[in-house]
Structure 1
């Protein structure tokens, strides 16, 4: 109110050319899991600095019966690298002391500007928690629109518990000086303000040394902004140990050995008897695939062998059950495969990892018309593959119990099911060499 009276007073004296900074209105609000089930992280952006930013949250109960109000101060960073036209100020706050499995109401505040209120559910800590997660990669700002309806419906109606985006955001987050990144994150806000949005880097995040990926997202166990030399992490969710890894270290002179050392230690810890009994499933996700059938010689015939050499032995030896990948703008499901050999054409007690390429969320901005068609002969490992303009979609992973996982690939246009299958595994653990 004071600044309005000041402007009127200046106008009386003929002073009209006065710059006033915009208010620090919060936008691009999105969640991610914290370091344990009692935490949830929220990140948002403002056009100007607001160092007093915070998140206000409480248990969500019947009217008049909400829990006590809690506050968490935010850390502010100024983001300029590759972001000449985008909003410069990012804020991150950690909501702590959450009751696992309970619903919470929250809003963020920067200066005197409050966001709308949103609801989320804290991660459950029940050992037999059965949960659902949407999985996809390669979603553009405009081209990604077909998949947004499914994601919005799921977020609004509580149909899934989290989102896993397997690299390549916006095409690109840095485009138009960061404005495309801002627009993309705002389009995600109705989804990611309600559901934890878990990520890994893709090749489209490489510009400016991954600066947009490192600043815009916050992931468990990592510093914020993230460090370009450590873009990998793991988190536990019910009966699953999830591992997010970077395929991009092989294409950017990144710290290959450091990531492999971390992966080896993380997976060995996950395979300790008490940990594998508690979380029998191990699921890894990284952007570029080890196997694919697309007409993309560089991706399938050059990148694939390089990634198999880097990751395949380790993931096989440590009994990684499922590997989610993206990059090739199509959908493909593989038979259990290791070292280019199909172990069996069944998903009952598979003896090698199962790969899914779910990269048809919408890709580029050409009205959703993506490249990388699947044509010609399939590799022997290919169990199901699909590419046609209009077959945009996302996956849904349902971890039913310790022995069964249900997977569906959903077509965005009409929400019909394109692929539907079950994995049954009651012999979890490192895979044994086949002779």
Structure 2
């Protein structure tokens, strides 16, 4: 009887294993990202096993008819966890035309994905579109997932920017949390390009899960890059080079800084065609959350101003007259007045018209297991609007002179809890002379503990 029971258990086990294995060659975690050129759309997907076949994307503009093929490339990724789990990452580049809807699927003779679709923007630079921006989205308490998935497939936005901290964490449990997260974003990212920057929660194993799972333009490690989309030049940056400099050294800080100055210099030469410049990264330069060391501490000062011999970012942002900056890290929403060097420019009748300094937004409230960050009782002088609702930001790019920001609340069933027009005259870009002609409020630097050190506290969940 015991032998029969043992045989039955073995048969059941083998059946379960056999039924699971064919699925491991099936494409999953399908997601889009922008290519180096406007005529390119990149699709990335994963299989748990080697497919031993040519991988590709088949795509076309007619439903169910794939007119084109693009062969893919495969990277073998070994997770850094104890299990040393092997995954196979596949990437293919589609050549696309403006103003079209494309239908596509990915895979090989070993298995194909479902059919997905995406839209390309019209040609030209003076065009309108919507960008969905958020950070700090986890598997547990990922409040915004449902609305984001639904709205992506409804065409409510044309681009997603995730400003760091994924899954909590992509590397957890031998990367299986990353698998689950990437499956959850597929109903968003298979339909809309999903652009990313790293947060502090991606640092494990030298960012290897983050680097391997995503594909960003002009970047081998997805840490910094830029692209143009209509009238906006987007610049993605890593604040984690500053946050973890004690572990990886300062060379990444210097390399990024040199690239940033070169990139923004080129962007300013093209401002007749692409007048807006928007940056996005993970950690904030300014905020007013109750954990003040995150908002006004030495770590923020390092990113903002640097230290002797180490460049910060704020002066460069202002030298090149960036318009907008988005951050996460704090699990809240906060919109700032135009601010530079702790000078707040909110004394005019319309501070957001021809703003003399960048406008910054913290949008880290998409939902994760550490709940909300909380705010100081009194807003900082640079703070215009604050909210603890779960949600995300929508930036509507209208044209060369008008942007429109909305904050969507999941707590309030998709209601808009903040909105703002950002406008500027054609060919207006601020400089020091213009800024100095306006009244401002200066906020002195806070007193700091002598014992504070530049270290990322791994016990804090941001």
Name the TM-score, length of structure 2 as normaliser.
0.83
SS at the partner of 1:159?
coil
Asked if 1:217 is matched to 2:214, the reply is: yes
Residue-by-residue CA offset, 1:282-338 (whole Å, 9 max, x unaligned): 000010000010011331122221111110000011010000011011010000000
Matches within 5 A, 1:292-371: 292-302=287-297, 303-309=299-305, 310-345=312-347, 346-364=351-369, 369-370=371-372
Residue-by-residue CA offset, 1:101-137 (whole Å, 9 max, x unaligned): 2111100113420110000113433222101010000
The number of aligned residues is 403
Residue in 2 that maps onto 1:375: 376
Q: Structure 1: how far apart are the matches of 2:110 and 2:265?
A: 48
SS at the partner of 1:78?
strand
Asked if 1:428 is matched to 2:428, the reply is: yes
Q: 2:168–2:201: 8 Å Cα contact kept in structure 1?
A: yes
Where do 5+ consecutive residues of structure 2 fail to align? 1-10, 306-311, 437-462
Residue in 1 that maps onto 2:77: 79
Q: By how many angstroms is 1:167 displaced?
A: 0.5
- Aligned alpha-carbon RMSD (Å): 2.1
Q: Structure 2: how far apart are the matches of 1:329 and 1:17?
A: 45
Q: Structure 2: how far apart are the matches of 1:51 and 1:91?
A: 12
Name the TM-score, length of structure 1 as normaliser.
0.88
Residue in 1 that maps onto 2:56: 55
Where do 5+ consecutive residues of structure 1 fail to align? 1-13
Q: Structure 1: how far apart are the matches of 2:133 and 2:226?
A: 16
2:282 is aligned, of 280, 283, 287, to: 287
Residue in 2 that maps onto 1:263: 260
Q: 2:356–2:430: 8 Å Cα contact kept in structure 1?
A: no
Residue-by-residue CA offset, 1:328-371 (whole Å, 9 max, x unaligned): 1101000000000012352111100000000100022x6xx33x
Matches within 5 A, 1:35-434: 35-61=36-62, 66=65, 69-83=67-81, 84=83, 88-96=87-95, 98-144=96-142, 146-223=143-220, 226=221, 231-253=223-245, 254=248, 255-272=252-269, 275-302=270-297, 303-309=299-305, 310-345=312-347, 346-364=351-369, 369-370=371-372, 372-387=373-388, 391-413=389-411, 414-426=413-425, 427-433=427-433, 434=435
Q: 1:108–1:114: 8 Å Cα contact kept in structure 2?
A: yes
SS at the partner of 1:344?
coil
Q: By how many angstroms is 1:432 displaced?
A: 2.4
Residue-by-residue CA offset, 1:188-235 (whole Å, 9 max, x unaligned): 111100000000110000111000110000001123xx2xxx720000
Matches within 5 A, 1:20-31: 22-23=21-22, 24-31=25-32
